[in-house]
Structures are given as C-alpha cells and as structure tokens.
C-alpha cells in the first residue's frame, strides 16, 4: 500500500499532514478514521476520495500533540489488531457452528 504525503499542504508542521493512499478507498479510509479519531491527542481525522475515476484516498490527521505520522502508524497497527481479533472470533464461531450443525445426506 504505497503512501505519500500530499504536496503543497501549506504547512511544515509535523502535527498536521495529509497522506495519499494509492489504490485505496472508503473501506480503509472509514475503518482507519474510526480508530484514529478516538485517540485523545488527535484534533481532527478524516478522509476523502477525490474522484471515483482516481484510485486514491486522501487521509488528513491534525494533532493536539505529537506527529501525524505517528498517529497514522499507530492507527494502522491497531487496525491490523482489530482485524486479527475479528478473524479469530469468526473462525472459532464458524468451527463451533459446523460442529453443532452437521449436514445429513
């Protein structure tokens, strides 16, 4: 997942950055926004998909304290953890279901 900082964001402040994710859209954008916006040091977090014909997403983070890139890294790591837990719970429930509901021919 290639990520770049949006050129010409108008600030050299490390607390406010816009990142561009190539080949990503609403699925990653909304999940990541939900996680990062809950961090107490985040002032603003949002994303846009500039145009349906463009295969990219702009992701903006503004911090009260700290660096935006650190919040992005933490958010991506936390999102992976959420996905891992979801898969584990799904697999356990699926296995339980298949053991308790055998198909009779």
Q: Which two tokens stand for residue 105?
A: 């021919």
For residue 91, being part of any structural domain is answered with yes
**Residue 57 domain flag:** yes
Predicted TM-score (pTM) of this structure: 0.81
In a domain, 39, yes or no: yes
51 in any annotated domain = yes
Q: What is the pLDDT of residue 26?
A: 93
The domain of 60 spans 3-100
User: How wide is the angle at C-alpha 45 spanned by C-alphas 42 and 48, nearest 5°?
Assistant: 170
pLDDT tens-digit readout, 5-64: 655 455 568 999 999 999 999 999 999 999 999 999 999 999 999 998 888 999 999 999
The CATH number that applies at residue 95 is: 3.30.1360.10
- Has residue 105 been placed in a domain? no
| Domain count along the chain | 1
Which pLDDT belongs to residue 18? 95
Q: Has residue 82 been placed in a domain?
A: yes
- Does some domain include residue 17? yes
Does the residue 35 lie in any domain? Answer: yes
User: Mapped to the 3 state alphabet, what secondary structure does 39-69 carry?
Assistant: CCCEEEEEEECCCCCCCEEEEEEEECCCCHH
Rounded to whole angstroms, how far apart are CA atoms 10 and 8?
5
Secondary structure (3-state) at 79 = helix
């Amino acid at each position: 997942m290639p990520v770049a900082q949006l050129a010409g964001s108008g600030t050299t402040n490390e607390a406010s950055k816009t990142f561009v994710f190539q080949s990503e859209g609403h699925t990653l954008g909304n999940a990541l926004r939900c996680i990062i916006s809950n961090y107490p040091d985040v002032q603003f977090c949002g994303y846009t998909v500039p145009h349906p014909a463009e295969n990219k997403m702009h992701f903006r983070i503004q911090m009260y304290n700290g660096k935006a890139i650190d919040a992005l890294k933490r958010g991506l790591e936390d999102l992976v953890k959420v996905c891992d837990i979801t898969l584990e719970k799904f697999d356990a429930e699926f296995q339980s279901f298949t053991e308790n509901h055998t198909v009779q021919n």
